[in-house]
Amino acid sequence: MGMEIARATPNLSCLGVLTTLLLCVSWLPSVVLAEPVKSQTIQPAIAAPLAHSTEKVAVEPARSRSSVELVALQYFPPGPDGSPGKPNERKPFGDVDNDKDDVQLMEETVVESTFGDPFATESEPVQDSWEPFNSKIFTLNYNLDRYALKPVARVYSGVVPPDLQDSLSNAFDNLGFASRFLNSIFQGKFDRAGVEMNRFLLNSTLGVGGLFDVAKYMFGIAAPPPEDTGQTLATYGMASGPYLMLPLLPPMTVRHAVGIAGDIFMNPVNYFMPFTPNLGMNAGGRVNDRAINLDTFEKLEESTVDLYGATRSGYMERRARDIEE
């Protein structure tokens, strides 16, 4: 009798172990495959312009984004990986799943505010009081670029090798030495003025008139951040003035426009070269620069909803950074 009980006990133990293993095997996959549910509240980086100052907008915590991302996020929510959303990902405002109780309507992040440019600062506020005029000129310049300059740049890029394009860009940059040198002195940046002088002498002689940047690649003298008259005026306290668009010219402010006139005055090439060849040289430089930046501009056009706003914000951001440097 005792031996029969002793034989039955191992059988029961084995049966218990097998039952436990079976339960673990059936339970383990559900634990491994299950994902924790996280409630996320997607916030746009910047609110769209408001018709009235009393409307509500959503504000995102401070985060560094490019101007292209900021413009895209005005209209489309980011994708699952955090990238800016695309137009085909936009959902109607009424398409809300009412069965999900955890959907947050961002009530805690809504504040009373008016639209403000993300790159506006106390030192460089965005003043676009001439926006109706600027918008029309921007459209004119965009169409001229799209239907005239861009096709010419495409043909030019197919004929002129990239290395030659870079050499021509170096030569045009070398011709602008005088303005950069003088403005560095006016701002008290004598070290930059010395670097500009060394680069000009080396590139103009050993670099065959500036076609080759021997100062950088042979002597390790890289180009410092360029200085212009507009930055000099800002250093001496002149306000930026309203944002301004003019035909056939890049974006600027009133202060920058005065600075461009000063840069032209400081360039000795304008005094020794006749008007027609000088105009042709500047046009060639514009086409060469456009050919070098073909891919950059195309990516901007494809990924930006509001080109006017992106151009203005990008310009103000870059200009403020140049002045701080």
Cut 0.85: pTM above it: no
Q: What phi and psi values does residue 301 have, to the nearest 5 degrees?
A: -65, -40
Which long-range CB contacts under 8 A does 189-195 form with residues at least 24 apart? Answer: 189/227, 192/224, 192/225, 192/227, 195/221, 195/223, 195/224
| DSSP letter, residue 249 | S
Per-residue tens of pLDDT for the chain, all 325 residues: 444 444 444 454 555 545 555 555 444 444 434 444 443 444 444 333 444 444 443 434 444 444 444 443 343 444 444 444 444 443 443 444 444 444 444 443 333 333 344 444 555 557 899 999 999 999 999 999 999 999 999 999 999 999 999 999 999 999 999 999 999 999 999 999 999 999 999 999 999 999 999 999 999 999 999 999 999 999 999 999 999 999 999 999 999 999 999 999 999 988 888 888 888 889 999 999 999 988 877 777 777 788 899 899 999 999 999 998 8
pLDDT at 15: 52
Residue with tokens 């100052």: 53
Q: Where do the structural domains in the chain lie, given as residue ranges?
A: 56-112, 131-324
Tell me how far apart the terminal alpha carbons of the chain are, to the nearest angstrom: 98
Reduced to 3 states (helix: H, G, I; strand: E, B; else coil), residue 104 is coil
pLDDT at 214: 96
Distance of alpha carbon 141 from alpha carbon 227, whole angstroms: 26
